[in-house]
Structure 1
Amino acid sequence: MNRVGVECGGTFTDLIVFDDQGGLLATHKVFSTPLDPSEAVVDGLRGLGPELLRGAVLYHGSTVATNALIERKGARVGFLTTAGFEDVPFLQRQDREEMYDLGVVVPQPLTGREMIRGVVERVTARGKISRHLDEQRARAAIRELAEAGAESFAVSTLHSYANTENEDAVARLIEEIAPGIPVSRSSAVSAEFREFERATTTIADAFLKPRIAGYLERLEQRLGEFGVETMYVMLSNGGIVPARTAANAPISMLRSGPAAGVAGAIEVAGAKGIGDIVTMDMGGTSTDVAVVRQGSAEMATQLRDGGLPINVAHVDIVAVGAGGGSIVDVDQWGLLNVGPESAGADPGPISYGRGGERITVTDIDIMREFLRPEMFLGGSERLHPEGAWTRLAELAERTGRPVPDLLEDVYTLVNVNMANAVRIATTERGIDPTEFDLFAYGGAGPLHAAKVAEDLKMRRVIVPPNAGIASAFGLLAADFKREYSQTWFVQSEEGGDLAEPAGHLFERAAADLEAYGLDIADGDLSYIADMRYRGQGFEIAVEMPHPDASVNEMLVRFNDHHAARYGHADRDRAVQIVTIRLTVRIVNPAKPRIVAQVGDTRPPGRRITVFEGGESRAALLFDRAELATGESYRGPVIVTEPTSTTFVPSGWTLQVDELANLTLERG
């Protein structure tokens, strides 16, 4: 049974196929189709051929959920909440990304006031039902929303994380009155306190549910035409689940594509014996940066998409609008800008010859002769840079900069943007990037990685095999992974242990895994407690040594964590345990084998010129498949492969390791 990884990015859709022994069979790359990503998937599968797909299992990562949220193309949501709290989705928070931006515009909820109704009920923060649901009024509210055109329902009643009875009753009434319309319950989507974030997350899940469910259903039908038997989907936490699970919780699919790349990087770095890396995934529209320590990606529990706070466990990725398709332009003050606007897949860079009229980073890389027009996508597509030269001359005239200087300016600026993303992920969080290797992939990442590393004083860059489709590889390398959480307030002076909330999470996880045909006994379980000093507004995550950890044990651990992170701890101050979290991981038994696929002789290299440091310089050009293990070359060097190109600048040395990784070292 073959295993197929398909990752849909903003510009390209990447495919990779391994057999059931973990051996690589094929790779493929096609242009993405933003209006309907499934079309690119189907185009890519056609390119692989039916013999590789019959009876196969497909693993899918996509930006479809993220795009729907950003573009606000989702369902008309009817929102039901506790009467008197109908304004919760509009409350916002007073914190802002730009402190001194007087013109800031807060994002609006994903549903309007006309689609919000209150239901009479009340649960206390401790989970006591002080008023049972008034079913008669609830029925009337549901009918009103259904008649107003609700395509999906979101239910988030006060403190339902502590007791779900009233919220469950509302959901049952919806199923009775409006059968067939999907329902998202906050107690299932985000069983955590903070009403604004919980309501917003639940509404977002409902907003996405019909669209994502429809997308996955259509895709599964199309896959059946190729003989593909089963489909799994990557979640934002870097884990794989069955497609039906993702369809029922679409909010967990946000940023699933970038998470797949990190999973692949962890697998390749682990095979090399490296646990600490910074990943840099530069694709067509953006660059995504993540930190991996001791073989595990840094995680977070809240993200912002479309400007809204979303409670979802995810790989902590810093994204910046610097990709191959990022548009180069001059602003109203005559300053050069690169991104965040992107040409995407359609029309794409000028050199693609698909109708693009604005110069991009890819065009600049071609004009610097880093990308060879005749070798693009393994020679299956040819680039046409003539129009880009014309546009660059116009841009040079507008900026008053000579063309050679402008080429260098753009290259430097996009590298600085990416280096800043790495700084946000590392230095601004107390991490020294010089202690990590930079792991570069994506179609454009290896072209820029060495200069980014140089800016950050990182000494080594690693480029994995098939770097341009690393995210597709990561889909096949990822484990099954699910996250569970529940707010459970405990004061340090109360004592006792955390066995009860941990037990509730275990029961939820065990039931879910049984429905998937899995046994929780096969899983690796880890528990975390969100803790804070009483009176603080935010928490830090503290690992629980075991599920029934005592409050006193956790108090010591919290103070130690606080001292390590902030340099101080107040061990006499009262502490609160706020939320308990459980992660269940089941190791993928059929991961791809990582073996060397390199030549056995030293190729002479083809002599070319590249534009570096403001001038043309002699360089060597190699086909990656010809490079032999152990060989080393001093830059400038260009290494081409069907899905990506690597640039080794002057002052750097290239070496091929025993696993076919390209290792670039400074000095």
Structure 2
Amino acid sequence: MRPGGLRLGIDVGGTFTDLVALGGGDVITAKVPSTPRDQSVGVMRAVEAAGIEAGAVAALAHGMTVATNALLERRGARTALVTTEGFRDVLEIARQNRPSLYDLTQDRPPALVPRGLRFTVRERMGPEGEIEPLDEASLEEAVSALREAEVEAVAVCLLFAFAHPEHERRVGAALREALPGVHVSLSSEVLPEFREYERFSTTAADAYLAPRLAAYLKNLGRKAEEAGLPAPLIMQSSGGVARVEDAISDAAGCVLSGPAGGVVGAAYVGSLSGHRDLLTFDMGGTSTDVAPILGGEAQTTTETVVAGVPIKLPMVDVHTVSAGGGSIAWADAGGALRVGPHSAGAEPGPAAYDKGGEEPTVTDANLYLGYLADGARLGGEVVLRRELSEEALERLGKRLGLGPEEAALGIVRVANAQMARALRVISVERGLDPREFALFAFGGAGGMHACALADELGMRTVLVPRAGGVLSALGLAISDLRRDYVRPHLAALVGTAEEELEARFAQMERAAAKDLEGPEYARRADLRYRGQSFELTVEAGDLRGLEERFHAAHERRYGYCMEDEPVELVNLRLTATVPVEKPKLSEGPPEGEAGRGKREANFDGEWLEVPVLDRERMGEGSEVEGPAIVEFRESTCVVRPGWGGRVDGVGTLVLERR
């Protein structure tokens, strides 16, 4: 990393690519349309739009959707699987749970590796070690078959390799020697944990994504080098950045690269405003991401399922729904109004963009209802045209028997219902009462829906940061370097010697010290009651209080605990981070009159003439009373009737329900 200079965060979304540059107390922002065919083009355009000299950049952190899109669209590498004889169908057998219990027509997505590309070797490891030696002849047969199959990647998942990886390493070495240029992922390196299906699934995803991710990141690295920029750091799903080579070797850990940046940024800015318990609400052009923040810390989980694929790696606990500004509204066969999951994206975009889109979207509804200004310019290139939104709403309205106003109100209500349901998933279903949290709204469209969602959930405080339209990029710019480590340790907690656990943690810390320079460590452990088939992760810095912390976590999450039941250890986890310098955000005084005039906006079917405020001219102490519209540089906030607030000392608009 270059000494001094600017820290850049660049986040690629489905519709826009956002940039934030921090340094010397300044915050520079830029927003340009995304380039789905090659996201790196949008990245370099964002740097150009910001007018930043390459020599002034100390670090470049990047969050992207390459891995996410490859899973969603099933456009990853041609991948094979090598496993223990008799277990080639573990990926397909899965857990036997149905995606929709009572829908007999719905099936789970197909496995990432088709049956014809799953190969086996004769060997067997057990809990205590080798049961049957690795058969060299079967290994040679598998290598020969893989060579003929012309695959791009191979996932190697042998039984009990999480505890005894010797056979798996020999298979991996043979494949790497015989198939140069083919990516090989070993489950003992990707996810050294028990539970075959989740280990197989995560390793298969890693192999499936790695070649696509490597091609993209190497292309981006070349463009950055040619422009004189530093090598990019890549956002991981766990909430920290990693070097390009580390991101490629941990491809499955990048599937939530984009949303993780927003959660990190929200935790930081929210803490500066004095709010450490938050529900984040990131509404972009394609989807909405929500996540809980407790005590100023982003929460992580190992139970994430992306596009039907379980990935059991530490990831920010984000829940995503397909309700973004570009989500298309449509009428189903029964004549009901639906919103999403299909999105107009950046190309062609909502009807109002005048780029060929003809279907109405959430953005078109917001524009028609007056929340967005007719003729407003987005991302420096897109000009909104209200008459095009009205035409699209009229076409949909005819199919529904509604006028354009009713159609627009219906679209917003349906989208809000989907987003409120998502917020309940990460609060009520986690044992958290949303009324005890503040709603932290960001993303290009977050501020327009925040007050309505807070009303729905009984929340009384909404935070809208100054850089809300580009907060994910801000989160990238302040993210620490991070690596996560895990070691299986299945044993009863009572009777396990502290010295034994200390030695395991010390072993992981030595490995982390080789990967990172001077890291800080956070110890955690996965625990469960004996007989349970799921675990909870709790802090393990003080080993003596481990059991009490587990009981408390179980009570909070599930509403009860069983203090008379024996507790088991399952895994030991270590998070190693190298902190980066965080900027001190501050808000200056108001710059004159913030009013931009008035315009008509529709609230619950009633048209009202409301004031429009320029956020750039507001400052610390500036107040707003709803109904009103506050126009930020990259986003818009709709202050509903009954809400009001002021700008605080770090530039966050703090709204309270009156």
TM bracket (short chain): over 0.9
CA distance in 1, matches of 2:320, 2:90: 29
CA distance in 2, matches of 1:40, 1:607: 35
2:42 corresponds to which residue? 40
Matched, 1:23 2:20: no
2:102 corresponds to which residue? 100
Verify the 8 A CA contact 1:241 1:480 in the aligned structure 2: yes
Higher alpha-carbon deviation: 434-443 or 477-486: 477-486
Please list the CA deviations of residues 149-198 of structure 1 after superposition, one character each: whole Å capped at 9, or x if unmatched: 12111111110111111111111111221123221010111111111110
Verify the 8 A CA contact 1:635 1:650 in the aligned structure 2: yes
1:397 corresponds to which residue? 398
1:51 corresponds to which residue? 53
Verify the 8 A CA contact 1:56 1:227 in the aligned structure 2: no
Verify the 8 A CA contact 1:280 1:440 in the aligned structure 2: yes
Higher alpha-carbon deviation: 249-258 or 403-412: 403-412
Please list the CA deviations of residues 400-421 of structure 1 after superposition, one character each: whole Å capped at 9, or x if unmatched: 2233322222222211221111
CA distance in 2, matches of 1:556, 1:3: 41
Secondary structure of the corresponding residue to residue 373 of structure 1: coil
CA distance in 1, matches of 2:85, 2:76: 26
Higher alpha-carbon deviation: 646-655 or 378-387: 378-387
2:644 corresponds to which residue? 653
Distance 1:656 1:378, change over 3 A: farther
Taking only the aligned residue pairs, the percentage that are identical comes to 39
* AA aligned opposite 1:606: G
> 114, 117, 120: which one pairs with 2:119?
117
Higher alpha-carbon deviation: 297-306 or 319-328: 297-306
Please list the CA deviations of residues 236-259 of structure 1 after superposition, one character each: whole Å capped at 9, or x if unmatched: 011111121101111010111111
CA distance in 1, matches of 2:560, 2:455: 34
2:288 corresponds to which residue? 287
Distance 1:450 1:151, change over 3 A: same
Paired residues for 1:606-621 under 5 Å: 606-621=597-612
CA distance in 1, matches of 2:502, 2:81: 30
Please list the CA deviations of residues 574-604 of structure 1 after superposition, one character each: whole Å capped at 9, or x if unmatched: 433222222223322x223311155343434
1:533 corresponds to which residue? 529
1:326 corresponds to which residue? 327
1:663 corresponds to which residue? 654
Please list the CA deviations of residues 223-270 of structure 1 after superposition, one character each: whole Å capped at 9, or x if unmatched: 112110221011001111112110111101011111100100111111
How far residue 514 of structure 1 moved from its aligned partner, in angstroms, is 2.3
CA distance in 2, matches of 1:658, 1:563: 37
Verify the 8 A CA contact 2:278 2:437 in the aligned structure 1: yes
2:82 corresponds to which residue? 80
1:164 corresponds to which residue? 165
Structure 1 unaligned regions, length at least 5: none
How far residue 377 of structure 1 moved from its aligned partner, in angstroms, is 2.7
Verify the 8 A CA contact 1:56 1:230 in the aligned structure 2: no
* AA aligned opposite 2:510: A
Secondary structure of the corresponding residue to residue 302 of structure 2: strand
How far residue 378 of structure 1 moved from its aligned partner, in angstroms, is 7.1
How far residue 525 of structure 1 moved from its aligned partner, in angstroms, is 2.0
Secondary structure of the corresponding residue to residue 496 of structure 1: coil
1:6 corresponds to which residue? 10
2:496 corresponds to which residue? 496
Distance 1:576 1:524, change over 3 A: closer
Please list the CA deviations of residues 249-306 of structure 1 after superposition, one character each: whole Å capped at 9, or x if unmatched: 1101011111100100111111112210110000001111101010112211021112
CA distance in 2, matches of 1:158, 1:131: 11
Higher alpha-carbon deviation: 504-513 or 187-196: 504-513
* AA aligned opposite 1:85: F
What CA RMSD, in Å, does the superposition of the two structures yield over aligned residues? Answer: 2.0
TM-score, with normalisation over the residues of structure 2?
0.95
How far residue 615 of structure 1 moved from its aligned partner, in angstroms, is 2.4
1:142 corresponds to which residue? 143
Verify the 8 A CA contact 1:86 1:118 in the aligned structure 2: yes
2:554 corresponds to which residue? 562
CA distance in 1, matches of 2:505, 2:421: 39
Paired residues for 1:132-531 under 5 Å: 132-377=133-378, 380-492=381-493, 495-497=495-497, 499-500=499-500, 503-504=503-504, 506-516=506-516, 518-520=517-519, 523-528=520-525, 530-531=526-527
Please list the CA deviations of residues 501-534 of structure 1 after superposition, one character each: whole Å capped at 9, or x if unmatched: 6644543453344244x124xx032222x22233
Distance 1:250 1:640, change over 3 A: same
How far residue 92 of structure 1 moved from its aligned partner, in angstroms, is 1.2
Distance 1:17 1:561, change over 3 A: closer
CA distance in 2, matches of 1:61, 1:371: 27
Please list the CA deviations of residues 423-470 of structure 1 after superposition, one character each: whole Å capped at 9, or x if unmatched: 111112221111111000000000110111111111111100121100
Secondary structure of the corresponding residue to residue 284 of structure 1: coil
How far residue 486 of structure 1 moved from its aligned partner, in angstroms, is 2.3
* AA aligned opposite 1:666: R
Matched, 1:637 2:628: yes
Distance 1:332 1:49, change over 3 A: same
2:538 corresponds to which residue? 542
Matched, 1:579 2:601: no
How far residue 613 of structure 1 moved from its aligned partner, in angstroms, is 2.3
Distance 1:627 1:658, change over 3 A: same
Higher alpha-carbon deviation: 531-540 or 433-442: 531-540
Distance 1:103 1:296, change over 3 A: same
Secondary structure of the corresponding residue to residue 374 of structure 1: coil
Distance 1:379 1:58, change over 3 A: closer
Please list the CA deviations of residues 84-134 of structure 1 after superposition, one character each: whole Å capped at 9, or x if unmatched: 2122111111223422222231222211222222112221124x1223322
Verify the 8 A CA contact 1:8 1:63 in the aligned structure 2: yes
* AA aligned opposite 1:582: L
CA distance in 2, matches of 1:456, 1:472: 28
CA distance in 1, matches of 2:297, 2:447: 22
CA distance in 2, matches of 1:242, 1:624: 36
CA distance in 2, matches of 1:452, 1:556: 36
Distance 1:264 1:195, change over 3 A: same
Verify the 8 A CA contact 1:61 1:257 in the aligned structure 2: yes
Distance 1:12 1:487, change over 3 A: same
Higher alpha-carbon deviation: 137-146 or 226-235: 137-146
* AA aligned opposite 1:577: L
Verify the 8 A CA contact 1:234 1:240 in the aligned structure 2: yes
Higher alpha-carbon deviation: 44-53 or 316-325: 44-53
How far residue 644 of structure 1 moved from its aligned partner, in angstroms, is 0.5
Verify the 8 A CA contact 1:50 1:226 in the aligned structure 2: no
Verify the 8 A CA contact 1:119 1:137 in the aligned structure 2: yes
Secondary structure of the corresponding residue to residue 313 of structure 2: strand
Verify the 8 A CA contact 1:59 1:233 in the aligned structure 2: yes
CA distance in 2, matches of 1:598, 1:230: 38
How far residue 395 of structure 1 moved from its aligned partner, in angstroms, is 2.2
Structure 2 unaligned regions, length at least 5: none
Please list the CA deviations of residues 457-502 of structure 1 after superposition, one character each: whole Å capped at 9, or x if unmatched: 1111110012110000000122222221222211356x12255466
